[in-house]
Amino acid sequence: MSQPTIESILKEKRLFPPSAEFSQTAHIKHLDEYQKLYERAAADPEQFWAELAESELHWFKKWDRVLDWQPPNAQWFLGGQLNISYNCLDRHLTTWRKNKAALIWEGEPGDSRTLTYAQLHREVCQMANVIKQLGVQKGDRVGIYMPMIPEAAIAMLACARIGAPHTVVFGGFSAEALRDRLVDAEAKLVITADGGFRKDAAIPLKIQVDKALEHGVSSVDNVLVVKRTGEKTHMEPGRDHWWHDLQAGVSGHCDAEVMDSEDMLFILYTSGTTGKPKGVVHTTGGYNLYTHVTNKWAFDLQDTDVYWCTADVGWITGHSYIVYGPLSNGATTVMYEGAPRSSNPGCFWDVVEKYGVTIFYTAPTAIRAFIKMGEHHPKARDLSSLRLLGTVGEPINPEAWIWYHRVIGGERCPIVDTWWQTETGGFMITPLPGATPTKPGSATMPFPGILADVVDLDGNSVGENQGGYLVVKHPWPGMMRTVYGDPDRFRRTYWEHIPPKDGQYLYFAGDGARRDETGYYWVMGRVDDVISVSGHRLGTMEIESALVSHPSVAEAAVVGKPDELRGEAVVAFVSLEDGYQGSEDLENQLKEHVVSEIGALARPAEIRFTDDLPKTRSGKIMRRLLRSLASGEEISGDTSTLQDRSVLDKLREGA
Ligand code: ATP
Ligand code: MG
């Protein structure tokens, strides 16, 4: 008997084809072209990826075998040798790109720096030499705990250059979170800064490193400190070193280490939206190829582009699409230190105007914040340089998509809604902007070479427009290789929820989705968050989107709470747009709005107004905490990646 799936209730039908002007110059110009690529890749994925590996990357030695697949362990390009820092830097130096801007950086106080490929190469080599002097060898792990300054990218590339896997820990994390990750990764060196600027304040970082190392992390011998804020900083003799001291006089040449394709490139911990973060391991060859090709096609990277991804380098988005993907392509990548803040809510649009940004990539949580701040901020700037927009991190509510399209994109820019995960290394389901007509709220179709499906718990494909579990049926080059130090957790988390189907292993993403009658995928939220009302299992995203389509609602999160009659009842946490007040009347209006948008089944039993929702530090709503709140339980489970604890306290008081 087939297992219950998830029901779909959303009725979004709007369609936005790419303009002829956009398609004309795009890498992939037409839906037919996408379909041909897709079919060719599906028929022989190994051949497809091997051809791209040959044409897109520089290899010191070609591989002997494209894929070794012993589920759940995949190895790509066996016997091949390369270095991702070489592909991101050295190979551009023999072309005209040598003096092209590689990295444009804007600091929050208004200072800025542009590094050409030649300059970036030099600094990376210098840092690589310094790291070696500090005793780090190929295979040793290095912790990176940095603000958003060029040295964050330089440190990553320097580690990659000498074959020392990095583990970047988001600079907003506490000393304990940093310590946990340094211990888990057994890092030998930590690269940090005195601090960084965020929301009009100098945020100290080195002090957190000191705390993390207070009782000793036995593996860590040295700390390399970049001067950014100039705050008074304690330097532990024998352990701590200023970067500018060691940089002075060090050589700007450092050969890139010859790495095997499957040598570990980095460990990165997931955001912790659903539980204890997992130390995701990525390796060299497959990751380099996958981020390169996905970035090139889905963002249509051209040499004239100024590409800006607003993520932090502490997340996978920053790894794949601020640093490795764009630089491997020889693109110009923008990095911004700060965040929208009350003193300048329009600072992002200032950056777009100042540098003539052409491609802009951000998250739904940021878009919903822009909506709340008001469209007069972007309207007051010249955004006409933009030609393409992207979104990642959560399902985007169709109304937020439409706002992004209208206000930021001037109704002219395609939007690529990219579905992917830390685990997948790069985009999995995404439009190719010159080819794929888009639908608000849908990530559209799988990238060529990605064999996705929506299945029930037995692994059977579900029908059109029926919800189920999003899976991937064939390995791809950018996939994670394991959970660091815990291969068992790797197997349990991703490969055992759904049994192999006809001998084929299915990668379980943990997200619910449906595929519509045109083959488009709609991600419906996390399967852990599914709500079961009177035997109907509903994803969170569709009810939330109905709420967000009401003019008063800025952001919404729905969860289930136990209900004797119906199994679960829908509870909605709603934050309102400026100028609206929570009231019984509005509560009733919103309930009726959900009923008229999607039906009586989804009617919220309760609506709680709140200024803020609990989010991870990467901006995702943590529904598992709201679920505990709604049912009056103690909050348990991992909360180490929560952005702001006071949000929970306020919600508790309001209850
Ligand atoms: P953890 O795995 O520790 O709970 P996390 O899942 O938030 O944390 P990430 O790898 O940063 O860690 O996020 C990946 C998840 O983000 C996806 O599984 C999906 O739920 C969500 N997501 C990302 N992009 C999209 C998108 N375009 N549409 C819908 N959901 C998305
Ligand atoms: Mg996850």
State the ipTM, two decimals.
0.99
**DSSP conformation class of 98:** G
Q: What span, in angstroms and rounded, lies between the C-alpha atoms of 422 and 281?
A: 9
Q: Which ligand is nearest to the CA of 419?
A: 1
Ligand 1 neighbour 313 (Cβ under 6 A): no
The pLDDT of 10-14, averaged and rounded, is 88
Q: What span, in angstroms and rounded, lies between the C-alpha atoms of 119 and 103?
A: 10
Ligand 1 neighbour 430 (Cβ under 6 A): no
Residue 642 structure tokens = 């929560």
Q: Report strand pairing: 222-226 vs 240-242.
A: parallel
Ligand 1 neighbour 277 (Cβ under 6 A): yes
Ligand 1 neighbour 641 (Cβ under 6 A): no
Distance 270 CA to ligand 2 centre (A): 6
- Range list of H helices, 213-320: 243-247, 284-298, 316-318
Asked if residue 1 has pLDDT above 60, the reply is no
Mutate to test the pocket of ligand 1, among 267, 404, 422, 486 (most ligand atoms within 8 A of CB): 422
The protein residue with its alpha carbon nearest to ligand 1, atom 16, reads 393
Distance 277 CA to ligand 2 centre (A): 8
Average pLDDT, the chain: 96
Ligand 1 neighbour 431 (Cβ under 6 A): no
Mean pLDDT is lowest, of 171-180, 219-228, 348-357, for 171-180
287, 247, 295, 251: which is closest to 267 by C-alpha?
Answer: 287
The pLDDT of residue 215: 80
The protein residue with its alpha carbon nearest to ligand 1, atom 30, reads 394
The pLDDT of 190-205, averaged and rounded, is 96
- pLDDT tens digits, residue range 148-195? 999 999 999 999 999 999 999 999 999 999 999 999 999 999 999 999
Mutate to test the pocket of ligand 1, among 521, 620, 623, 641 (most ligand atoms within 8 A of CB): 620
The pLDDT of 640-648, averaged and rounded, is 88
Distance 176 CA to ligand 2 centre (A): 21
Ligand 1 neighbour 467 (Cβ under 6 A): no
Task: Provide Rg for the chain, Cα atoms.
Answer: 24
Q: Which ligand is nearest to the CA of 271?
A: 1
* CB neighbourhood size of 595 (10 A): 15
- Binned at pLDDT 50, 70 and 90, residue 638 comes out as confident
Asked if residue 365 has pLDDT above 60, the reply is yes
Q: What percent of the chain has pLDDT over 70?
A: 99
Ligand 1 neighbour 285 (Cβ under 6 A): no
Q: What span, in angstroms and rounded, lies between the C-alpha atoms of 609 and 606?
A: 10
Most confident of 273-277, 341-345, 508-512: 508-512
Q: What span, in angstroms and rounded, lies between the C-alpha atoms of 137 and 117?
A: 25
Ligand 1 neighbour 513 (Cβ under 6 A): no
Q: Give just the sign of the alpha carbon dihedral 243, 246, 247, 251.
A: negative
Mutate to test the pocket of ligand 1, among 170, 266, 267, 271 (most ligand atoms within 8 A of CB): 271
Residue 262 structure tokens = 């499957």
- pLDDT tens digits, residue range 387-444? 999 999 999 999 999 999 999 999 999 999 999 999 999 999 999 999 999 999 999 9
The pLDDT of residue 9: 84
The neighbouring-strand residues paired with 515 are 521
The pLDDT of 526-537, averaged and rounded, is 94
The three-state DSSP-derived secondary structure of 378-440 is HHCCCCCCCCEEEECCCCCCHHHHHHHHHHHCCCCCCEEECECCHHHCCCCECCCCCCCCECC
The pLDDT of residue 655: 59
The protein residue with its alpha carbon nearest to ligand 1, atom 6, reads 273
